[in-house]
Every structure is written in C-alpha cells, then in structure tokens.
Structure 1
C-alpha cells in the first residue's frame, strides 16, 4: 500500500462514529486508531455468543467421528472386520497421512472462500464417510474410509485456530483456543456415553452395535454440517450477526492491529516467513511429542481401562468422568494463561501431571492407581497443546503468516498420530507398558521444547526492543 493510499484510508475512517484517527507515520500500521471500547466489546461478545459455541460443537463432533473407532473396538469392531495382528492399529494410523497432507490447503481455502462454506463442505464430507464406516466388511474397506476421513477432517482445527486469530487479540486467544481443546475432551465423555447407550442397545435391523455407533454419529454430523453453512461467519468483518456499526469496528481493528494482522494482499514472502520461523519448528517438535500421548489417550483410553481389569461396558462409562475432569482443568489453565499473560511458564508446568500419571501406569498394576493415573494424564495433555498453539499464534506477525504457519505447526504435530496408533498393540495387553512408557518419554521431550521456545522468545525480545514484541 502506498503512503497516499494509506492517508486516504485513514481520512475515510474519521467519518466513522465513535472513532478517532491520527495520521500515519512513515511506516505501515503506525497509525493510531482509537475505537469506541463499548462498540468493540459488543462486537467481540457477539463472536463469543454466536461463533465460539459453533466451533466447540464442530470440534466435539469431529472428535466423536475420529475416535469412535476406539469405543467400537471394545464391543466388536475387530471381530466384525476379522482383523488380525496390528491391523486395528494400522487403521488408526492411516487416518493421519491424508490428515497431515491436506491441512495447509484447507486453511488457505478458508482465507479465500470463507469459513462457513469451507468447513461445511469438510464436515458433510467426513459425515458421509463416518456413516459409510458402519457398512464396511473388510480391512481394505477400512483403509479407504480412514484415509478419506483424514482428508476431510484435516483442516478443521487449524482453520478454527486461524479464524480465532483474525477475530481476537493476542491476550484474548488462549481461552478461545481452550474452547476447542475443551470440546475435544468433552467429545471423549460424550463418546463414552453414546457408546455405552449403543452397546446396551445390541443388534438392531441385522446390524451389530458397533456399526450403529458410526451410523448414528455420522447422521448427527451431517445435519450439523448443513446448518453450519448458514450459521458460521464468513470472516471477522462479514459475520452475519454484526450490524453495520460493528462491522466498521472489526474493520478498524484490522487496520489498528496492522502490525499483527497484516495487509489484506497475500504475498509469497509471508509463506517464506512462516517456513523459516524457528519457533514454529521447535513448537512442532514439542507438539509432535505431546500429541503422541494425546492421540494415544483419546483413541485407546477404553482399551487401557479394560486392561486395568474393568469390563468393556464399564470402560465406556468410566471414561466419562476422566474427560469431564480434563475439560474443567483445561478451563482453569486457559483462564490463568490469559489472566497472567504468561504462556511459557504455564506451558512448562502442565506436562508435570502427565509425567506423573504415566509413571504410575508403568510402575504399578493396581487398578485404582491406574485409573487415577488417567485423571492426571487428562489434566495435562489438553492444556499443553492449547497453550503452545496460542503461544505460536500470538507470535506470528500477521494473518498471512498465520494462515501458513498455523497449519504447518499442526500438520507436523499431527504426524504424531502415526506412531501413537502403534504404541498400544494388542499383544501388550493388559498393562500396555510399552505404550505408557513411550508416552512418558515423549511428554518429557515436550517439556524441554517449551523451555527452548521460552529462551528463544526472551532473547529475540531483548534484541528487538521497540519492534514487534513476542508474547512470553
């Protein structure tokens, strides 16, 4: 944007009620734009009211459809497909290659065509695949549906994280990212409840109970997906629930936060900035390691509980309080993170209960202690990723860098789904010591990674005083 154009844009803003504007300095984004705080608060409150609940519902349903294979396993999935050896683990793994491959294209599509249309298409796609899973009969068919499910679900979390970054300020984002991870945790509780109900239903219409699990959850997803087409906002400036005055406020926020939001025009230099940002790669290593226990936990918790000595029916309902506790603890950590504005310190604390939990699971065969250990694991695996995603999002310099950097971070992290699906082979039952030991080691590396990010951020801020300051 030229200086003349910048001045014209600034002069036009003087006509907006409730806003005062100073003429810009010689650098882009140096204008001082003061927005009516009442109007700004009202606009943000509308996003909290109309957008965030939809995002939470999206994440909850997506993870129901992704992890229901773990619930189905304990009441007949393997037997129904005549799986042998590590074939169940292989099916869990095959979700992730396409999941990783398609994340960046989905986020760039949201930037181009809007969140409502892109995410509705993705959701309808994975809903149809979930329904289809209820009718498969062979291992090869299982491979096909898992690859397709990964492709359609791949853009969901990075798209939502990116959309949050375009609406909320850096200090407001942790609680909103926590809503996404809280929905993931709650999906485990709902998944256990739904699986328990369907398992007690037994065989209906000639279909085994595990088949009804996929069919019913897929039907729920497709109805919600169609609704999202009209209820999700297009973007932060063209949300249907904002009036003209509030749209002006959101537009002014983008201009005011130009150093953070960036110019509207995409240039390939922004992609290069993302691909050469070392913080992304350190965080990606940390999230790759932390996501091995996270994905292992969400997929295999019912299997682990059966290994503790409980029945398959008990495993489905005993997982519910574990996930409810995870959600409540996540809310507390996210609130503290935003309240104290200290991402790094808190991110270095949350792996500790995970380490303790897996140490207990490895070191004892006591059923009560093992179940307690799962509560400790649940307390840490969700907050870690919440804080790291928020921290990195805060420290990427504009929307275009974030539109590439966020899915790059998450795609590397999600590659952990491949090893996480293999660390709990059936031959290791009932205690699954190898899987729990691997999760323990990976969480320790994740702790080291956030320490490294903290050091990098502090050193960079010391060198660039007065410029774009990174969040610590």
Structure 2
C-alpha cells in the first residue's frame, strides 16, 4: 500500500464496496479518537480471504475443540462401556468424578487467560492439546476411584485455558459480523464430538476386552491418541499472527493488514493494562453474561454428558442401543447451532433466536419428566437438543462482540467461562439423584430464568 494513499484500498477493475463499520461496543473509552479511516476492499477479495481463513484455520479450531470436548465428556460413554462396574463406583462417586474436572477447570481459567499473554498463542494451544491427550490416554489405566478423580482434576487443568484462548484468536482473525458463524463452528464441533464419541463407543463396545483391557479403557486410548496426532498440525499450521501466514498472496496479505487495522480501531489495542482488567470486573453486563452462561451450561453439561446414561438407565435401552441412539440427538444439536448462528449473523437476532429455541427445550424437559412412553421421552431429547449448544455459543459471541479493548474482552471472557462452568460441578450432582432424570427437573427453571436474563440484556444492548 503506497504511503500517499493510506485511507483506501481498492482492487483494480472492481467496483469498491464500503466495509461495514462495526457497532459501538461498551468499554471502548477512547471517545475522542479520530473516526476510523474509510477503507474499501474488493468484495471478491474479501470472500477469498474468508474462504482461506475458513479452510486453513477454522478446521484446526474445530478439530481442537472437538477433541477437547470429546476427551472431557467421554466419561459418559465409558460409564456405559463398563467403567463404573470395573471400578465399583456408586452413583454419587461417578457424578463426583464428572464434577471434579470443573474444579480445576474453573479455578485455572482466569489466571491462565492472563498468563497466556506472555506465551505465543500457537505454543500455548499446542502445549494444552498435547497435555490433555496424554492425560486422556493415562485415564485408560486407572484402577480406583481415587486415581480416576486425580486424572479428571489434571484434565481440567490442561483444558482450562483453551476455549478463552481460541475465542480471542477468532476475534483477532474475523470481524464482529463474521464471528457468530465461526463460533458456531466451535460449538457444532462439541455436538459432533458427542455423535462421534457415540459411534466410537459403539464400535469399541462390540470388540469388548482386548490386550487385557476392557472396552472403556480402549475408548480412552483411541480418543487420546487421536488428540495427540493433531498436535503437530497445530504447531505448524496455526500462525502467531494471521497476516503472517505463508499462504497469503501479496494482495491478500495487504488486505489482511487493513482488516487488522480496522479491528484495532474499533475493538481497541492489545497492549496489556491492569485498568482494563479492573474495568471489566466492575461492569455489571459482564456478570449478567456470566450468569446467562451458567444457566445455559447447566443444560449443556447435564444433558450432553449424561445422555447415554439417560437412555440406558432412564429409558431402559441396552448398552449398545444407548450408545448409538445418542448419535442423532447430538447431530441435531450441531445442525441447530449452524442455522441459529447464520440467522444471528445475517439479521442480528441472536437473543430472539435463542429465546425461540429455549421454548422447545422447556417442552422437551416437560415431556421427558412427565411421560411414561419411551418413544415420547426419546423424542423429547431432540427438542432439548435444539438450544443445547446455541445457548453457550451465542452468549459467548455476545461477550466478545460487545467488550473492548482486548484485555477487557479477555477478562470478561475468562470470567464468563469461570462462572459459567461452575455449572459443570452442579449439573452432575443433580443428575445422579434417582434415575438420572430427576436432576433434569431443574432444566425448565434454568431455561426460564436464562430467557428472562437474555431478554433484559438484549434490551440493554
């Protein structure tokens, strides 16, 4: 870009289209700064850049989040495959083993988000991925309740900083109106991890015992090895700065630098400042978003982790049936999020879409608890799945879109994840009561409270 023309960038022979300015965000206190320079980028070039980002970086994000969620939630499939029987776990012990993951996960999120500023992004993400893969493989060899709890605690520590880190990276790559769909990629990956985990568990359960290990042990080994195999791809494929990636043409790199400048003008500079941290901690909307996240995460963790047990113990299906019948439920959850995120990005209706989907989940919970028909209960699982991943994902998109500058956003995101994931401790303790269904009675109440908060927060923004 020439030095005498820094305000515009127009590709030759194409009618320029003005870049759409982002909405004003709370927390960007630089009210007296100059208006951001009008920058024009060839729309064909914009699409080409997004296509490259979506084919080079988004698959890495999705694969990593897919595997992290798979490795934390596969305890549900392992229980059906014989984990609880071999370790002689009571219902309370099993629920505690699920919950303790979040003890270290929640405790470590906030300090890790701040500490990762001193570590290169791709290094931090690679180290976390390698660590949780090794711990997952190690879980295959536990012999007691105590060793299972220890592995779950270490796993929570290894995964704690990953989601905030990858979320901040997305905000560095995509502009605000592009982020909703990319967060949909992430949360759809969690639903597909449940689907994929069910398929793997079905196949391994058929094999049974091999090499002196039960099928649940092989489940951990196989899924841990898959996570370990992706580590080199992350190390070499994730650039520290998106504009520095080797796969850009000179024209694309120049446009990426312009996009980066636009992002910094609107969303704030990335220089660390403790005042940004304190400012986020004083902002009431940050806590409202965190409370919304808590309610939505109760639904997510209570339902997604225990779905195989619900089908097995609550509806009376066999072990094999419980594994494969969970697959289409998770699939619907992922598809629902893609549709909701697309509508949200296009029309700016994230809150309205989520409120609409929550209604179906309330109906689903009512049917799941009240009906005596297994067919009706199984159908209710599909209704619950509609907002299952949309809720946490759309709320996180709200937070990163509406908080600036960079480290205020990082603080808000870390706090939201810390408070929201307390639900991971609460939900399993509710689920072990009775038949695993009674604990889900809280679902409608959480959704209704969540809906009220979402509506109030949406009106404020």
TM superposition score normalised by structure 1: 0.89
Question: What secondary structure is seen at the aligned counterpart in 2 of 1:205?
Answer: coil
Q: Secondary structure at the match of 2:372?
A: coil
Instruction: Give how far 1:421 is off.
Output: 1.2
The answer to whether structure 1 residue 180 and structure 2 residue 205 are counterparts is no
Residue 100 of structure 1 deviates from its aligned partner by 1.1
Q: After TM superposition, list the pairs within 5 Å mapping 1:49-448 onto structure 2.
A: 49-306=55-312, 307-425=314-432, 428-429=434-435, 432-448=436-452
CA displacement at 1:17 relative to structure 2: 6.2
Displacement of 1:248: 3.0
Kept in 1: contact 2:140–2:218 (CA 8 A): yes
Q: Is the 8 A contact 2:122 2:238 kept in 1?
A: yes
Task: Tell whether the 8 Å contact from 1:114 to 1:235 is kept in structure 2 after alignment.
Answer: no
Structure 2: stretches of 5+ with no match in the other structure: 17-29
Structure 2 vs 1, CA of residues 201 and 353 (structure 1 numbering), >3 Å: closer, same or farther?
same
Structure-2 residue corresponding to 1:468: none
Q: 1: distance between equivalents of 2:413 and 2:40?
A: 28
> 1:467 — aligned with what?
none
User: Corresponding residue for 2:20?
Assistant: none
Is the contact made by 1:325 and 1:375 (CA closer than 8 Å) also made in structure 2? yes
Q: Which runs of 5+ in 1 are unaligned?
A: 1-8, 458-472
1:277, 1:365 → 2: CA distance? 47
Given that residues 8 and 39 in structure 2 are in contact (C-alpha distance below 8 angstroms), is that contact kept between their aligned partners in structure 1?
no
C-alpha displacement at 1:206, in angstroms? 0.6
| CA separation of 1:139 and 1:31: change in aligned 2, threshold 3 A | same
**Residues in 1 aligned to 2:4 and 2:82: alpha-carbon distance in whole angstroms:** 65
SS of residue paired to 2:242: coil
Listed one character per residue, the Cα deviations across residues 15-65 of structure 1 (whole Å, up to 9, x for unaligned) are 996489xxxx99435231414234443323211110111111111111111
1:449 paired with 2:453, answer yes
1:167 CA drift (Å): 1.4
Is contact 1:284-1:409 (8 Å) kept?
yes
Q: How far has the Cα of 1:243 moved from its partner?
A: 3.8
**8 Å Cα contact 1:124/1:226 also seen in 2:** no
Partner of 1:3: none
User: Do structure 1's residue 31 and structure 2's residue 32 form an aligned pair?
Assistant: no
Supply the distance in 2 between the matched residues of 1:50 and 1:29 (Cα, whole angstroms).
Answer: 34
Name the CA shift for 1:304/1:208 in 2 (closer, same or farther; >3 Å): same
Moved more, 230-239 or 327-336: 230-239
Deviation readout 1:173-228 (Å, 9 max, x if unpaired):
11111111100001111000000000001100111111110011111111112321
Displacement of 1:273 after TM fit? Answer: 2.3
Give the alignment's TM-score, normalised by structure 2: 0.91
* Aligned-pair CA distance for 1:294: 0.6
Question: Are the equivalent residues in 1 in contact too, given 2:10–2:41 (CA < 8 A)?
Answer: yes
1:469 is matched with none
Q: 1:322: how far off?
A: 0.7
Q: Aligned with 1:381: secondary structure?
A: coil
Once the two structures are TM-superposed, the CA of residue 258 in structure 1 deviates from its matched residue by 3.3
Q: Within 1, Cα distance between the matches of 2:189 and 2:182?
A: 11
Contact 1:95/1:147, CA 8 A, preserved across alignment: yes
Structure 1, 160-169 or 185-194: larger mean CA deviation: 160-169
The structural deviation recorded for 1:11 is 5.5
Cα RMSD (Å): 2.3
In structure 2, relative to structure 1, the CA distance for the partners of 1:17 and 1:75 (3 Å cut) is: closer
The separation in 2 between residues aligned to 1:29 and 1:347, in whole angstroms, is 36
Alpha-carbon distance in structure 2 between the residues aligned to 1:115 and 1:281: 27
Q: Secondary structure at the match of 1:380?
A: coil
Measured at CA, do residues 12 and 119 of structure 1 come closer, stay the same or move farther in structure 2, by a change above 3 Å?
A: farther
